Amino acid sequence: MTSENRWCWHSVLTGSVLFVGSLVSACVATVEPHAPVHLEMAGASSMQSVMEELANAYTRRFEYVTIDIEARGSRLGLEALRDGAVDLALVSRELSPSEEQGLEATVVAYDAVAILVNNHNTVDSLSSQQLRQLFSGDILVWSEVGGEEVDIQVLSREDRSGTREWFEETVMEGRRVTLTAIVMPSNQAVGRFVAENPLAIGYASSVDVPVGAKPLRIDGVKPVLQAVTQGDYPLDRPFTLVTRQSPDEEVQAFVHFVVRPAGQVIVGQRYRRAR
């Protein structure tokens, strides 16, 4: 091989190596770690446990995402969303037309609201009418609904609770719960109080029933998942994820995860699926 040919082959090889090296460098340069993403949610305490399960599944799948969830009530969650303090509000009811302005609401699950009494209470069932009479204060003694001759202690939730707003609008048909009711700050607090007080009755998510309390049959139906899924249990309400209109890409991605099969499988373990 002449020196001229050797020079040509050297040039070709050198050029090939440089070309391949440029390709490798270009490929490596495009594979960059995703920028960290942090999402803030606030709202209904009754939605906290299922949203934590969904958030954990999402952050395992997308490790660059972190999510904080704060239980502060549906209405305060909506206020925080409008103020820009959070990315998503958790609302345990439907939004009113006035609340929907400037926001996007997505129903992600349906929750059975259980009527809880102490395990030692001999009452096992109430009709919808008896339920309204009892929580309005028209019925004051357990013996009027088949129990013992003792006073009834009604429990309710705070004014900004989505569960209370739903209960008074839907179950009470617009009537307020009796003013003698003890106000509880969360679903879990309702369950704990009922478990420790034989005279108490309260309403809470059916997944928050502690040892010492029991859910009543309403119109003959117990709040079990099968009855809720089939639409037989009368006291169910939507769990709603709320965002600002045209939310950013990362917020949309989380909402899509929740309503798609992977998220709805998690929802369906304890709640009626939305889709």
Per-residue pLDDT of the chain (275 residues; tens, 9 = 90+): 554 444 444 444 344 444 444 444 444 546 688 899 999 999 999 999 999 999 999 999 999 999 999 998 999 999 999 999 999 999 999 999 999 999 999 999 999 999 999 999 999 999 999 999 999 999 999 999 999 999 999 999 998 899 999 999 999 999 999 999 999 999 899 999 999 999 999 999 999 799 999 999 999 999 999 999 999 999 999 999 999 999 999 999 999 999 999 999 999 999 999 99
pLDDT value for 160: 85
Task: Please state the φ and ψ torsions of residue 191, each to the nearest 5 degrees.
Answer: -60, -45
What are the residue boundaries of the structural domains of the chain, listed by start?
37-110+237-273, 112-229
The token duo for 40 is 């803030």
What pLDDT does 31 receive? 66
The single residue listed with the structure tokens 């709805």 is 264
pLDDT at position 32: 81
Architecture of domain 112-229: 3-Layer(aba) Sandwich (3.40)
Distance (Å, rounded) from C-alpha 27 to C-alpha 127? 68
Angle made by CA atoms 203, 207, 209, in degrees to the nearest 5:
60
Looking up tokens 């009811």 gives 93
What is the value of pTM for the model shown?
Answer: 0.84
Query: What are the Cα distances from residue 120, in Å, to 141, 200, 205, 222?
Result: 16, 11, 20, 18
* CA-to-CA separations, 241 to 41, 43, 46, 213, in angstroms, rounded: 9, 9, 13, 29
37-110+237-273 matches 112-229 in fold: yes
Task: Pick the closest to residue 221 from 231, 229, 213, 232 (CA basis).
Answer: 232
pLDDT for 51 equals 98
**Rounded to 5°, angle at Cα 142 from 138 and 143:** 105
261 vs 268: CA distance, rounded Å: 10
CA distance 158 to 181: 11
Predicted pLDDT at 1: 52
Is 221 in contact with 127 (CB distance < 8 Å)? Answer: no
Residues 6+ apart with CB under 8 A from 25: none
CATH class of 37-110+237-273: alpha beta
**How many CB atoms neighbour CB 48 within 10 A?**
21
pLDDT digits (tens, 9 = 90+) for 199-211: 999 999 999 799 9
Distance CA 61, CA 258 (A): 13
Angle CA 116–172–73, to nearest 5: 65
Write down how long the chain is. 275
138-166 pLDDT, tens per residue?
999 999 999 999 999 999 999 889 999 99
Please give the pLDDT value at position 33.
85
DSSP assignment letter at 145: G
- Name 11's Cβ contacts closer than 8 Å, sequence gap at least 6: none
